[in-house]
Structure 1
Amino acid sequence: MGEKVSNILVIDDEEDICKLIKNALSNQKYIIETRNNAIDISVDELKKFDLILMDVMMPKIDGFTLCKRIREEIDCPIIFITAKILEEDIIEGFSIGGDDYIKKPFSILELRARVAAHLRRENREHHNTLSTNGLRFDLQAKELFFNDIKISLTKGEYNICELLAKHKGQVFSLEQIFVKTYGYDKNSDNSAIREHIKNIRAKINLYIDNPIETVWGVGYKWI
């Protein structure tokens, strides 16, 4: 069986950058498509790509705006190409769902290495991960990550996060969360869930705005 050929999209308003990246990666068993702007790019079109390289500072629609717009439906790695190297810019890129960034000017070797690393991980983990809200769930290891930083959760805390994230937008009552997390026979009460949620929020808030929303009088949901 032949080696999988990966489809990569490059979005940069500088045509020379697009040509440079295409030339650098075309010899690496990748199929490269380039766009000079982010206007009128449909989600359906983007779904065919295994990785997206996009500039941050583009006219009309910048890279951060496009990432926010597509991230809920596009789960392939997104690497930002940017001259913006302030820490707050980097953190923003990760928080909206970016997987990595490459600073301009960049070396061809660095570009190739980062692209290859993300595609290897994607091919290895695609069926065992869930990415949402800038977080990555390792469904096999039962671990939660921000970028490559593991968020230290107890087993119960992780199970609550996975349950809510897998059913994004659905409201669960305290009893439903308890039953799905611990089962019917566990000797405890629903109030323990409130404490777990409090702890989860404190831990996740270190990296992103917490995605667990309280629906007063009903329960909680992942937004």
Structure 2
Amino acid sequence: MVKILAIDDDPDILVLIKNLLRKDGHTVMVAETTEKVEQDSLTDYDMILLDVMMPGIDGFTFCRRIRSIVDCPILFLTAKTLETDIINGFGLGADDYITKPFGTGELRARVHAHLRREQRVKHSILCASGVRFDLSAKEVYVENKRISLTKSEYAICEFLAKNRGQVFSKDQIYENVFGFDGESDSSTVAEHIKNIRAKLSVFSLSPVSTVWGIGYKWI
């Protein structure tokens, strides 16, 4: 089931979006300000409908902040129709720009078009705790900046992030990442994790947690 988040300071528009898209079988969550949205929940959504002109943190600013951790389509809803505004929106990572007032048919058509596209495209992005993994390129990004990880460091990060919340011992991590035929041993895992933490701490991130007496997990 598709899960959609709509953020708009106009409660009437939120009611319209909720009722309209729920009729199409989608789960729709709404918020009147970006401040009411928990950032950790953003990766749960398959699409975000985002108003631009809102009090507090506006849609452009919010899009810029979350784009590095959100892989789903972001569709702007706005009365700003100047070409410079539209170009700015796409430059921030928006997938579409729907101008107000909009017809219900147009909204449904655009939502469905982007969802169909998402179903056709095989996702190669994993976002977890502020870290974005390009699984195809085997690269890690934070705030759109690539983090220089060794092959082993990346492999450990990807394994833990894919199994977020699950605790693994050093032996389990080593066996899952390097296999039984690895050229080293599990004692190297702690050193790799130390290096990973140092590189991510530059961005005030600490996603790899130690569970004393057991091992490590990605939180």
TM over 0.5: yes
Give the structure 2 partner of residue 158 of structure 1. Answer: 154
Tell whether 2:189 aligns with 1:193: yes
Partner of 1:73: 44
Q: Structure 1 70/9 Cα, relative in aligned 2: closer, same or farther at 3 Å? A: closer
Could you tell me which residue of structure 2 aligns to residue 170 of structure 1? 166
Q: Could you give the per-residue CA deviations for residues 164-194 of structure 1, whole angstroms, max 9, x where no partner exists?
A: 1111111110011111111112232222111
Deviation by residue 1:132-161 (Cα, 9 ceiling, x = unmatched) = 212211111111112321111111011001
What is the root-mean-square deviation in Å for CA atoms of aligned residues?
A: 4.3
The answer to which of 125-134 and 138-147 deviates more is 125-134
Question: Is this contact kept in 1: 2:208–2:218, CA < 8 A?
Answer: yes
Amino acid at match of 1:151: I
Q: 1:45 aligns with which of 17, 23, 27?
A: 27
Whether contact under 8 Å (2:130, 2:205) holds in the other structure is: no
Gaps of 5+ in 1: 1-6, 20-32, 36-43, 48-53
Distance in 2 between the 1:115 and 1:122 partners?
14
Residue equivalent to 1:63: 34
From 131, 137, 140, the equivalent of 2:133 is: 137
- Report percent identity of matched pairs: 38
Residue 198 of structure 2: aligned partner: 202
Give the letter for the 2:27 counterpart: E
One-letter amino acid of the counterpart of residue 45, structure 2: I
Count of aligned pairs between the two proteins: 182
Secondary structure of the 1:209 match is coil
CA distance in 1, matches of 2:129, 2:118: 18
Inter-CA distance 13–78: structure 2 relative to 1 (3 Å threshold): closer
For residue 8 of structure 1, report the CA deviation from its aligned partner: 7.9
Give the TM-score normalised by the residue count of structure 1. 0.61
Contact 1:63–1:80 (Cα < 8 Å) also in 2: no
Q: 2:95 aligns with which of 116, 123, 126?
A: 116
On the 8 A contact 2:140/2:154 being kept in 1, the answer is yes
CA distance in 1, matches of 2:123, 2:11: 35
Structure 2 residue runs without a partner (length 5+): 19-25, 98-113
Tell whether the 8 Å contact from 1:67 to 1:98 is kept in structure 2 after alignment: no
Deviation at 1:69? 5.8
1:199, 1:69 → 2: CA distance? Answer: 25
